[in-house]
Structure 1
Amino acid sequence: MLILFAAPALWPEYETLLPAALARAGIEAQVVTEADPAEVDIIIYAPSSWLQDFTPYVKAKAVLNLWAGVERIVGNATLTQPLARMVDPGLTEGMVEWVVGHALRHHLGMDRQIVNPGHVWDPTCPPLARSRPVAMLGLGALGLAAARALQAMNFPVTGWSRTAKEIPGLTCLSGKEGLRQALSTAQIVVTLLPKTPETENLLNAERLSWLPKGAVILNPGRGPLIDDEALLAALDAGQVAHATLDVFRVEPLPQDHPFWAHPKVTVTPHIAADTRAETAVEVLVANIARARDGLPLLHLVDRSRGY
């Protein structure tokens, strides 16, 4: 089996780990960074790759994306091979830690103590987590894991997804009215949806107005989920108390972007979660074995839905 690793910038992280994982699984394969397209059986890929024309790869059984997001590849008309996105346990753990950390930061009002140049003695105690409703927008692997972690700390979590879901122990809503219901009581909103035409500007001026005054927004999902201008207006009006943003329409975030200077915005540089090679190789190997055996891929992308 010939595997093309078409993500040169990431190759040093995988050069040793991937062959070792393949050997542990008993898979005889050669992993290369260059190959005759007609001979390639599997493509491991990142959307920043040099590979943009999949037409010559007539033998390839699968394209395995190294990123959770596939919006930069799913519309490629030359890509006719099955495409799998990366659902990496390490990435999930990192996302959960970021979401829980920043949710607790805002819930406990940590900024008041961390940034307190006037040495103000403010003995105000926060409510218990059970009194701080959270709306989790997106109930995929990342959203559900983050929701469960917040539930474990007694935050009442309402989940919302574009299609109806039933998840034991979690209130699940869908559709426009479901979104309004989820937002109408949320003091913390977490956005963990993929970028698709349907999710772009999901949080616009109208929907931000549905929030209780003073809600907090955490966006580690995709930059275009939020209308930037509408968010800035909501922050200025006090409708939204703070926004902690990890993802942006343009990255790195331009130095003149208003988010940098806004006192109610925290910018984190797309660090909420990352694919970690030591755990991602196990996901890759599982799908390589399935492709070899003619089985459906794990985390197969639905092209019609864009993720």
Structure 2
Amino acid sequence: MRISFCCTDTASEPWLQGLRAALPTAKVLLWEPGAPLADYAVVWAPPQQFFDEQPQLKAVFNIGAGVDALLKLRLPPNALVVRLDDAGMSVQMAEYVCHAVIRHFRELDAYEADTRQGNWSFRKPRSRADFPVGIMGMGVLGERVARSLVGFEFPVMGWSRTPKSVDGVQCFAGEQGFADFLAASRVLVCLLPLTPETRDIMNHANLSRLQSGAYIINVARGAHLVDDDLLALLDSGHIAGAALDVFRTEPLSAGHPFWQHPKIVVTPHTSARTLRSESITQITSKITAIQRGEPVAGVVEPSRGY
């Protein structure tokens, strides 16, 4: 069995060592043009040439949570595309989102600004009941984020393409439930996969349906958000602020207005990073299962985009 590793901007040797240790009978090779044919591939942002030279692959394992960029390539016709189910990402995402929600709710940004100026200030405590959090996307990451926010006693709602049921979470589904979901949300968290249907979903019309003084948290993909629409709604006061970890172009260009906007927190796509050891364990376990003819979780349906 051969495994080809083709991950752009990734230190390869630790991954190669880990994969070889987990599957000692496999030949694990760093891909180069003209490399031998492989049975499986571990990839991140691979070039089209990789797949053109590897048409026989049984499965392709993506080391990041999002597969939208991968699905734009011409993939081997019979290869499964498999995403990471979690691999340590969900707890990181829950940390990031809970921090962003609590920082906004407790007005810690305002306290920080005051203390920098030497001001000892006071703000009236706010009620969690007035800050219902709506989560778009109730997959593995979205459900973990929702459960974590429930633990902080915020009203939590989830919206997904198909109906879901999560304890303590009011769930909405489909087009019919979307408008009601937005109207019930004061904090909006985007954890959707990027598909043609979800691109630009955070536009002026949809963001305007949120409760007045809404707060936006985007940890999914930059193309979910229409930048100019967010800026216009911030200026109008309908949206109070935003925490943005993903952008249409990354790194975010030096002149982009998000950098200097007083109501926007920018972080460099760091809400949930791939954890190598957990990912290797998951990938190699799935390879072993496929070899045995067993089903595996995380198989992408290209027609849906996730």
TM over 0.5: yes
Count of residue pairs brought into register by the alignment: 302
Shift of 1:166: 2.9
Shift of 1:136: 0.5
Residues 89-100 of structure 1 aligned to structure 2 (within 5 Å):
89-100=87-98
After superposing the two structures, state which structure 1 stretch, 229-238 or 31-40, moved more: 31-40
Of the three residues 29, 33, 39, the one matched with 2:30 is 33
User: CA separation of 1:178/1:126 partners in 2, compared to 1, >3 Å: closer, same or farther?
Assistant: farther
Tell me the TM-score normalized by structure 1.
0.92
1:3 maps to what in 2? Answer: 3
Residues 155-166 of structure 1 aligned to structure 2 (within 5 Å):
155-166=154-165
Residue identity matched to 1:204: N
> Any unmatched runs of 5+ in structure 2?
none
1:197 maps to what in 2? Answer: 196
User: CA separation of 1:18/1:126 partners in 2, compared to 1, >3 Å: closer, same or farther?
Assistant: farther
Residues 63-78 of structure 1 aligned to structure 2 (within 5 Å):
63-78=60-75
Of the three residues 61, 76, 80, the one matched with 2:58 is 61
The percent identity for this pair of structures is 36
Instruction: Decide whether the 8 Å contact of 1:88 with 1:276 is kept in 2.
Output: no
2:102 maps to what in 1? Answer: 104
Residue identity matched to 2:14: E
Q: Counterpart of 2:4 in 1: which secondary structure? A: strand
Rounded to whole Å, the distance in 2 between the matches of 1:120 and 1:183 is 37
1:275 maps to what in 2? Answer: 274
Shift of 1:261: 1.5
Matched, 1:21 2:22: yes
More relative contact order, 1 or 2 (CA 8 Å, 6+ apart): 1
Shift of 1:211: 1.2
> Any unmatched runs of 5+ in structure 1?
none
RMSD value, Cα: 1.9
Instruction: Decide whether the 8 Å contact of 1:69 with 1:194 is kept in 2.
Output: yes
Instruction: Decide whether the 8 Å contact of 2:157 with 2:181 is kept in 1.
Output: yes
Rounded to whole Å, the distance in 1 between the matches of 2:48 and 2:14 is 19
Rounded to whole Å, the distance in 2 between the matches of 1:56 and 1:259 is 41
1:295 maps to what in 2? Answer: 294
Shift of 1:147: 0.6
Residues 1-307 of structure 1 aligned to structure 2 (within 5 Å):
1-7=1-7, 9-23=10-24, 28-34=25-31, 39-47=37-45, 49-50=46-47, 52-80=49-77, 81-116=79-114, 117-307=116-306
Residue identity matched to 1:140: G
Shift of 1:118: 4.4
Shift of 1:130: 4.5
Tell me the TM-score normalized by structure 2.
0.92
Shift of 1:298: 2.0
Residue identity matched to 1:98: Y
Rounded to whole Å, the distance in 2 between the matches of 1:141 and 1:245 is 20
Q: Counterpart of 2:71 in 1: which secondary structure? A: coil
